[in-house]
Amino acid sequence: MEELKEIMKSHILGNPVRLGIMIFLLPRRKAPFSQIQKVLDLTPGNLDSHIRVLERNGLVKTYKVIADRPRTVVEITDFGMEEAKRFLSSLKAVIDGLDL
C-alpha cells in the first residue's frame, strides 16, 4: 500500500480529477471543455485549473474553435498519451501485486 501512496503522491496524475481527465481523453484524443466538465461533474473553474496544470506539464493542449459560438477544445498530446499509459501501468502493477 505504501507503493500506491508514493505513486499517487509523486505524480501529476496522482490527482483523481487530472487522472479522470486523461482517462476520458485517452480513447477520444480530444473533447470540448464543456463535455469534460459535464462528464466529470466539475465546475468550470475547477476543470480549468486542472487543465492548466496538465497543459503546463505538456500532457494536454487547448485551443478555440468557432462553430455556432467559440468553444474550447482540450486535446491530449502524444507525450500525454504515453505518460497516462505509463501511469496506468504503474497502478496496474501495484493492483496486481495486492493479495485480493
At 75 the three-state DSSP class reads: strand
User: pLDDT (tens digit, 0 to 9) for every residue of the chain, 100 residues total?
Assistant: 677 778 788 789 999 999 999 999 999 999 999 999 999 999 999 999 999 999 999 999 999 999 888 999 999 999 999 999 999 999 998 888 877 6
Q: pTM for this one?
A: 0.90
The answer to whether position 40 is within a domain reads yes
Query: How many domains are contained in the chain?
Result: 1
Position 100 in a domain: no
At 34, list the grid cell: 464543456
72: Cα within 13 Å, side-chain hemisphere? 13
CATH (domain of 69): 1.10.10.10
The three three-digit cell numbers of residue 1, written as one number: 500500500
